[in-house]
Amino acid sequence: MDCNHITNLDPPMSMECSKTLAVARSLGIRSEGIPTMRPTSKSSANLCTCAFAAIGLTLALTPTGAAQDQSKNPPASDEQEAGTSTDLFIMLGSDFDRPGLAAKANYNIGIGHTFGFLKKDPIGDELTFAYTYEDAGSGFWHSQFGSDTESFGVMKNFVLPKTKRVSGYTWIQGGITSLTGNAKVQNHFYDGESLGAVVHFTNHHSIWIQETFNKIVTIPWYTTTSIGYTRSW
């Protein structure tokens, strides 16, 4: 049966089928492309005509719906993939002064912020500011002689193969160290270079473990082994 011939259909079915064919034609579906068959009765003819018209209409609407779904889910931008974070860290450790490897308490607190545009920088992607107190006297925890350091630094975070729980970092710092306890405070340039590992418990909580090479002008170099807690957001 040709779908163009609907004059002999029952009135209700003829009206519904006419509406369906009108929508199909508005979408560019030609009635000649709709399959035909020889019905056994007027009711079956009505049913077949409307069924084929509905199938053609569904096929015409499918690409449009898919395009709308794609527009609702745009690909993630480079900025979203890069991401940024802020780290607040508190570390306790021990200096091993030269000569003699004398142990001295070392307290460090600081904050760092990771910048997305620095992700590919070979030197670092996180800028930091830190304050460090070190015992410079004869005791371990504290004495009348102290070493106070304010420093700026750049940290490079990197992933380790086959694990997401642990990552690594390098940290280069430069600042001013003030030696207290004498008649006058002595200020000297400070340089620190660290290599460390981060154990991630969640996205916001981690433990840092690091080894640092320290050099203060006029003072022999020394190393610091420390461990600390970091809160990230």
Condensed to tens digits (0 to 9), the pLDDT of residues 101-131 reads: 778 888 999 999 998 888 888 889 999 999 9
Same domain for 174 and 208, yes or no, is yes
Query: Cα separations (Å) of 143 from 21, 104, 139, 189, 217?
Result: 94, 10, 6, 22, 21
Provide the residue range defining the domain that includes 63.
11-72
Q: What angle do CA 124, 130, 133 make, to 5 degrees?
A: 140
Q: Count Cβ atoms below 10 Å from residue 160 Cβ, excluding itself.
A: 12
148 assigned to some structural domain: yes
Same domain, 136 and 171: yes
Same domain, 100 and 193: yes
Q: Does 136 lie in the same domain as 224?
A: yes
Structure tokens at 200: 């991630």
Smallest CA-to-CA distance from 45 within 9, 11, 7, 17 is with 9
Query: Is 209 contained in some domain?
Result: yes
For residue 79, what pLDDT is reported? 41
**Residues 45 and 160 placed together within one structural domain of the fold:** no
Q: Is residue 4 part of a domain?
A: no
Same domain, 56 and 116: no
User: Are 108 and 222 within one domain?
Assistant: yes
- Domain co-membership, 145 together with 222: yes
| 161 domain residue, yes or no | yes
Residue written as token pair 């395009």: 67
- Looking at residue 86, its pLDDT comes to 94
User: Are residues 29 and 123 both part of a single domain?
Assistant: no
Same domain, 192 and 136: yes
**The pairing of beta strand 186-200 with beta strand 146-159:** unpaired
The structural domain count of the chain equals: 2
In a domain, 77, yes or no: no
Cβ neighbour number for residue 35 with a 10 Å cutoff: 11
- Among 53, 72, 91, the domain-final residue is 72
Crossing angle between the packed helical segments 42-72 and 11-26, to the nearest 10 degrees: 30
Would you say residue 218 lies in a domain? yes
If asked whether residues 164 and 112 sit together in one domain, one would say yes
Q: Within the chain, which residues score under 70 in pLDDT?
A: 1-83, 97-100
- Both 50 and 116 in one domain: the answer is no
Helix (H), strand (E) at residue 186? strand 186-200
pLDDT of amino acid 219: 86
Asked if residue 3 is part of any domain, the answer here is: no
Of the residues 23, 48, 72, the one at which a domain ends: 72
Q: Label residue 159 exposed, middle or buried (CB < 10 Å: 0-12, 13-18, 19+).
A: exposed
Report whether 111 contacts 97 (CB < 8 A). Answer: no
